[in-house]
Structure 1
Amino acid sequence: MEPGQIRRGQKITFLMAILRLLLELTLLGSAWKPLACLDSLLAAAISPQIPDNGSVPLIVDVHVFVSNVFDVDILQYTVSSSMLLKLSWFDPHLSWLENTDPRNFITLPSNALWTPDLTIQEALWVEWREHNPRLRVSREGFVELYTALTTKTNCDFELLHFPSDKSDCSISFYAFSNTAKELKFHPHAVNEIVSVKREYMVRGLKAQVPERQLVPCFQVTLSLENTAVKTTMALLVPGVAILLADICGSLLPLKATERISYKVTLLLSYLVFHSSLVKALPSSSSCSPLLISYFTLLLILLSLSTMETVLMYGLMARGDFSPNPAPREEGLDTANPGPRSEEPQRRDEEPRKTWAEAMDHIFLLTYVAIIGCSQIIFVIVWVWWECKSDPPPAEDIPHGGRPEF
């Protein structure tokens, strides 16, 4: 055999071996591909488990730093706030010796270890500042997690004494991925609000663990107080000013036509003010603001005053222009009846005018007394009356109840 043919045969054999090796690698990769996908799915499905603390639940200390309450909407019954959560717990399995690693602490991503998965019950929306915060693990095994959030939550405002109302708004954090036997929170609340240029101020802040809960949870309660002096003045001063203006208008002469136009204009102005006020004040199924009743009473008083003016003026006008001929006397000079006929008519009309003005004067005194008594009664009701809101549907058996697991 020639040397050229031998070399050609060796090349063909070498190429065939390479092709066979590539084919075997391809078949082997296709066989391992489903197993690799299965491993990735298992790794995604299995998350880090809560540290085993034996027969007692894992204690997680929670410090809630409330930094801002920036939006209080009484019409929508919502509160927007910003806060920082510091969660810390002890995991002895994460500790290490100094000779192994001289560092006092290390920083890890939050998805590398177990962290409480928190959900806010009253939240309409929640924005977490960091989707993957960092964990700080000390050499002794203490783990710390810092996370900030902004949330808009529902709040049941007590608006009976609006605009000097006080309400307690709760923000409840639940860890639905764990049970009460595995996890327990020890919450603490810290007020870090430094700005005072706001309508509602946080006068109290506390954190507690609700009783008889099925899952681990803790609750932060904000005690809000309305400090809007401008709102109080803008609501009460116009009402009192309109009442005083109405009393001053009643001092005008009854026969003056300007008195009716003055009263009607005042009533129409107050109707516009009352309609805008009712839209501005919140409505509630129970314990509505007392100011709604107060301004409705003012509307009724102004309406009565206007109707009294129109009625008295109508009686006087009817007495002035209705025919009331005087009886003829014997021996009168029929040729010159003018001076003699006006005197009896004037004597007949004078008692009617005096009677109408006397009734108007009596009404004015009664009206002033009613206004004074109504103001005193309103102050007494404002100070002493306490309204108890209706129970929520979850606590009323016909509408619902607590779920039983």
Structure 2
Amino acid sequence: MQMSSRVKVNMMWNDPGLAWNKNTSNATAIMLPVDKIWTPGLILDNAIDITVHPYKNDVLVLRNGIVDHAVVLFISVSCEINLFTYPFVSGDCPVAINGWNQNDCGLTLKYTYSNISMSGSEQSGEWLTENVEITQDSESKNRTYLSVTLSINPFSAVVTLILPSVLIMLADLVSFALPVQGGERNNLKVTLVLSFTMFLIILNDHLSSGTSCSPLLHYHFCFCLVSLVLSMVTSIILTRLTLDDSILPCKCSKIIKTQNASLGKVEADAGVIATTKSTDLGLEVASLQKIVNFLENMELKEQVANSNEAFVDRLDKICFCFFLFIDIIYIIIVVIVTRTDICQPKKMIIFDKEDYYPDFWYVGSSVYIDNTYNNTYYDTDNDFYIY
């Protein structure tokens, strides 16, 4: 992630070359142009972009050589914030403002711990600036940095991301109240799947992503989409089973052909009855027997259909309980995962490794400084330590 901010740094240092005594002048302080005197340069070890401007064109110089100056930094720094629990996120972003320092040689910026404050807007979009404090780096000596605590206002993300997905999943569960027959439920489930797919396409460019691991919200959307598709397929299969005892479409065509043949036979039999009613009573009785058999077959088929519908209704209740159970288990897992630290980003190295102090470093032709012995000097030519 990248954080942009405006930082004003008030600096004071002692320059003996600018001091004077009362014999020279009775003035206690003077104003000098900032471009006419030496001013310390500031660096940001973890800066992506930085622009430095003097706060004023003049600096205040006191009689004893104390110089009072201020600069304004427009900076962009890189941050490693854990977005796994987005939009419920809080983290620290370091701003390593220091003076130039190389192997204990250069400028040392000493912070005034009690004189740090936030000014201006504390909110940038969905991010909130909660606190700014000075932190001592644990790996490098004499290195401190500003630790900016950031958090996200979750209201906007909850309304635009989480709430629609929850409502769509709730509508999918409620759709089990519709009858399986007729296809109304299938139409609703197909509409829910298409709506959720369009919802993901629209929000694809707006979803936050992390460097170490993806936010849990991505997995949530994946679960919702898979659950909606499975629910739609299950509803289609149940609708098919209400019409036949098989989900294969080829068997349905055979049944339809058989029913059409039976109906044609009945019509033929009815024609025979009409033509032979006055001539042959035996044929009439036979025709009536065929009609009775046909009606009995129709009643048997109706009983089979009612049995299929009862079986499908039981399957429908089992499927509803299954999806409800899966949703409850999913909610419990999400709560447990968000309460545990299973995805933590690695600590960023914000300072240059060349600024770290080695145990020995070269001073002259034969003298080395040994930091392990409290900066003792070792002369290789004479083979002794200098304390």
Q: TM class by shorter-chain length?
A: 0.7 to 0.9
- Deviation of residue 264 (structure 1)? 0.7
Determine if contact 1:163/1:228 at 8 Å carries over to the other structure: yes
What's the counterpart of residue 186 of structure 1?
110
1-side partners of 2:166 and 2:29: how far apart? 67
State whether structure 2 residue 263 is matched by structure 1 residue 339: no
Secondary structure at the residue paired with 1:315?
A: helix
Determine if contact 2:81/2:93 at 8 Å carries over to the other structure: yes
State whether structure 2 residue 235 is matched by structure 1 residue 279: no
State whether structure 2 residue 254 is matched by structure 1 residue 298: no
Answer 1 or 2: higher relative contact order, Cα 8 Å, separation at least 6: 2
State whether structure 2 residue 34 is matched by structure 1 residue 84: no
- Deviation of residue 380 (structure 1)? 2.2
After superposition, residues 4-83 of structure 1 pair within 5 angstroms as 77-83=1-7
What's the counterpart of residue 384 of structure 2?
none
The 1:149/1:203 distance shift into structure 2, 3 A limit, reads same
1:270 to 185, 196, 204: 196
After superposition, residues 109-188 of structure 1 pair within 5 angstroms as 109-130=33-54, 133-176=57-100, 180-188=104-112
Determine if contact 1:185/1:209 at 8 Å carries over to the other structure: no
Structure 1 alignment gaps of length 5 or more: 1-76, 396-400
State whether structure 2 residue 30 is matched by structure 1 residue 103: no
Secondary structure at the residue paired with 1:184?
A: coil
The 1:208/1:353 distance shift into structure 2, 3 A limit, reads closer
What's the counterpart of residue 317 of structure 2?
361
2-side partners of 1:354 and 1:211: how far apart? 70
What's the counterpart of residue 46 of structure 1?
none
TM-score (norm. length: structure 1): 0.70
The 1:179/1:146 distance shift into structure 2, 3 A limit, reads farther
2-side partners of 1:116 and 1:208: how far apart? 22
2:332 to 376, 379, 389: 376
1-side partners of 2:137 and 2:24: how far apart? 43
What's the counterpart of residue 366 of structure 2?
none
Letter in 2 for 1:91: D
What's the counterpart of residue 238 of structure 1?
164
The 1:267/1:309 distance shift into structure 2, 3 A limit, reads same
Letter in 2 for 1:118: L
What's the counterpart of residue 241 of structure 2?
315
Q: Which string of whole-angstrom CA distances, capped at 9 and with x for unpartnered residues, describes residues 24-68 of structure 1?
A: xxxxxxxxxxxxxxxxxxxxxxxxxxxxxxxxxxxxxxxxxxxxx
The 1:178/1:375 distance shift into structure 2, 3 A limit, reads closer
- Deviation of residue 194 (structure 1)? 4.5
Q: Which string of whole-angstrom CA distances, capped at 9 and with x for unpartnered residues, describes residues 172-210 of structure 1?
A: 234337662443221136122353554322222122453
Q: Which string of whole-angstrom CA distances, capped at 9 and with x for unpartnered residues, describes residues 102-148 of structure 1?
A: 21111222343332222222223222233984321101221111111
Task: Report sequence identity in percent.
Answer: 24
State whether structure 2 residue 121 is matched by structure 1 residue 195: yes
Structure 2 alignment gaps of length 5 or more: 247-251, 263-285, 362-387
When structure 1 is superposed on structure 2, of 281-290 and 267-276 the one drifting more is: 281-290
2-side partners of 1:205 and 1:196: how far apart? 11
The 1:384/1:117 distance shift into structure 2, 3 A limit, reads same
The 1:342/1:317 distance shift into structure 2, 3 A limit, reads closer
- Deviation of residue 270 (structure 1)? 0.6
CA-based RMSD of the aligned residues comes to 3.0
Determine if contact 2:21/2:63 at 8 Å carries over to the other structure: yes
State whether structure 2 residue 133 is matched by structure 1 residue 206: yes
1-side partners of 2:19 and 2:121: how far apart? 42
When structure 1 is superposed on structure 2, of 95-104 and 233-242 the one drifting more is: 95-104
2:178 to 237, 245, 252: 252
Determine if contact 1:158/1:165 at 8 Å carries over to the other structure: yes
Letter in 1 for 2:66: F
When structure 1 is superposed on structure 2, of 283-292 and 298-307 the one drifting more is: 283-292
1-side partners of 2:176 and 2:107: how far apart? 73
When structure 1 is superposed on structure 2, of 81-90 and 174-183 the one drifting more is: 174-183
